[in-house]
Structure 1
Amino acid sequence: MNTSEMNAENTLLPLALLALGKTGADVERMVRKVRRTARRSGRAVSWADLENALLAGQADMSADLRRRAAVHEAGHAVVYTVTGVAAVQSASIGLHGIGMVTTTPNASLPQNETWLMNSVACLLAGRAAELTVIGEALAGGGGADESDLARATAMALAAETSLGFSGHQPLLYRSATMGTNELALDRQLAERVNRRLENAEAIARRIIDENRRAVEDVAAQLDDVGVMSGDEVRQLVGRPMDVIQPSNAPP
């Protein structure tokens, strides 16, 4: 990539971040609409035209909810960065529902029990940040099959039923579909899964406590501008991409 291409990429990065979650067809339709509007006004398309069009889909949030969402997503972003489980690509609030952190998995990490517990900690980190910074957590971390709590529970359940990490019958394989139903029927299994979730939340809260300033800084920037790149997150955490080392926190 030459210098002019790099400059163009950096210039367009803010718009690219605002477009996260949209398909190429979505962006193409939006640009055509912006061009038509500008043409009718007898002028060229401006940066503000594109930015306003991308911001038009932002969720309408009160100042309090926006702050809570910023803290929640900051928790995810910081714990992903510190554990090294995945590289943060972006963090945003208001653009895609309440908030979102996009990541790229770290394929170089061995998928052992430490990796699994750190991964569950990353999923619980938004709720953990709310509890640490605000003092309470909203219901947004749960309530749906794709929620943080649901995904964390599924990973903890897999550890106990299908990945061989259980201290109880580790060689016995049970499918994920059977396991979900078993949580309601097998009290001991439910207790083991819950214990894993509590341990993972403790990992998340420890990391957040140790990096409280970074969580607050990321949350403040998200509250202010709504979207951040992964590099911006890593800069505030103090962990550039080339020096990130995975956390070896025990499960």
Structure 2
Amino acid sequence: MTEPQNTNTSGMPAAAQQDSVDAILRRLATRAMGLTGADIERIVREARLKARRGKRAIRYQDIEDGIRGDRPPVPHDLRWRFAYHEAGHAVVHHALDLGPIRSLHIDTGQGGYNLVGFHAWATDTRDWYENMLTMLMAGRAAEKQMLKRVSSGSGGSDDSDLARATRLAFDMERTLGFGSGHPLLYRPHRDPGAVLDRDPELVARVHARLEAALDRAETILRRRRTAFHALAKALFDAQAMDETAVLHILTDSELLRGS
């Protein structure tokens, strides 16, 4: 005979109740990443006031609504695009063992984004830079693979995927010693765009690196389609995922591939 389980007033086992509470707190913490302490204090204060006015206990939805502010829901099609894009980055980041994936987000005023870390022991080699290029191009590769067309979401600003990848490929050719033409020359420049505009041969070499990284990212996503599809679906549903949730999907999918 098994011993009776400790239960709360609703009949849920105490351990399950605690797991549920922990999951809610983790989700809220993930949704709140990027906010200041003052922001969170204000959100909690307003949520308590809302609950008090309704003569009820504070709810998860009160806090989540406060985090989201007055932003309208992300349209269905755009939400899928964000989910595919960020899942693509995460799957390739994990496949190339670049480091931990802290969180993924698709419910922001500026679109989707990810928070990732990098293993210090693997940096500064040619392979590492090529892996970085592949990871940066993975969001575009994911859109291309799933939607058959790409958006401007990977470009358009100085901190975009395409901007970072272009600067990285430029530095590989000009300053890091990995160039296919005169690799020993150190030739820095404050404005890579100006150099590229007047050097067609350099443009061709830099673009070839980006094309190779894009093709490689697409290959990784095809080989890990189970993980990619599962992560994109989970991210679409949750809109924000922490490291534990992301890693659970990626490692489970790897076990399925190996079985």
Into which bin does the TM-score normalised by the smaller protein fall? 0.7 to 0.9
Alignment partner, residue 191 of structure 1: 204
Larger RCO (CA under 8 A, 6+ residues apart): 1
Aligned residue for 1:94? 107
* Equivalent position of 1:249 in the other structure: none
User: Which stretch has the larger CA shift, 139-148 or 31-40?
Assistant: 31-40
Structure having the higher Rg: 2
Stretches of structure 2 lacking an aligned partner (at least 5 in a row) = 1-14
TM-score (norm 2): 0.84
Deviation at 1:56, TM superposition (A): 3.2
Partner of 2:177: 164
1:70 matched to 2:106: no
> Match of 1:167, as an amino acid?
S
Residue 206 to residue 112, structure 1, CA distance change in 2 (3 Å)? same
- 1:113 has 2:113 as partner: no
Pairing 1:39–2:52 present: yes
Task: Identify unmatched segments of 5+ residues in structure 1.
Answer: 244-251
Q: How many equivalent residue pairs?
A: 237
> TM (normalized to structure 1)?
0.86
Q: Which residue of 2 aligns with 1:175?
A: 188
Q: Paired residue for 1:53? A: 66
Residue in structure 1 matched with residue 10 of structure 2 by the alignment: none
Match of 1:214 among 223, 227, 250: 227
TM-fit CA distance, 1:46: 2.8
Amino acid in structure 2 at the alignment position of 1:74:
A
Q: Which residue of 2 aligns with 1:246?
A: none
Aligned mates of 1:23, 1:226 — CA distance in 2 = 20
SS in 2 for 1:73: helix
Partner of 1:233: 246
**Cα distance in structure 2, aligned partners of 1:146 and 1:26:** 25
Partners of 2:70 and 2:177 in 1: CA distance: 44
CA distance, structure 1, for counterparts of residue 142 and residue 244 of structure 2: 21
Runs of 4+ more than 6 Å apart: none
Q: For residues 143 and 110 of structure 1, what CA distance do their matches in structure 2 show?
A: 27
Between the two proteins, what is the percent identity of the paired residues?
36
For 2:147, give the aligned amino acid: I
Amino acid at match of 2:114: V
Aligned to 1:129: 142
For the residues of structure 1 that align with 2:138 and 2:145, how far apart are their CA atoms? 10
Looking at structure 1, the residues matched to 70 and 30 of structure 2 have their Cα atoms a distance apart, in angstroms, of 13
From 6, 9, 23, the counterpart of 2:36: 23
What is the deviation of 1:60?
A: 3.5
Change (3 A) 1:96 1:112: farther
SS state at 1:219 partner: helix
Please say if residues 46 and 66 of structure 2, whose CA atoms lie closer than 8 Å, have aligned partners that are also in contact: no
**What is the aligned-residue RMSD (CA, Å)?**
2.3
Residues 27-70 of structure 1 show CA distances to partners (whole Å, capped at 9, x for unaligned) of 12222222333334444433331122123355542211111111
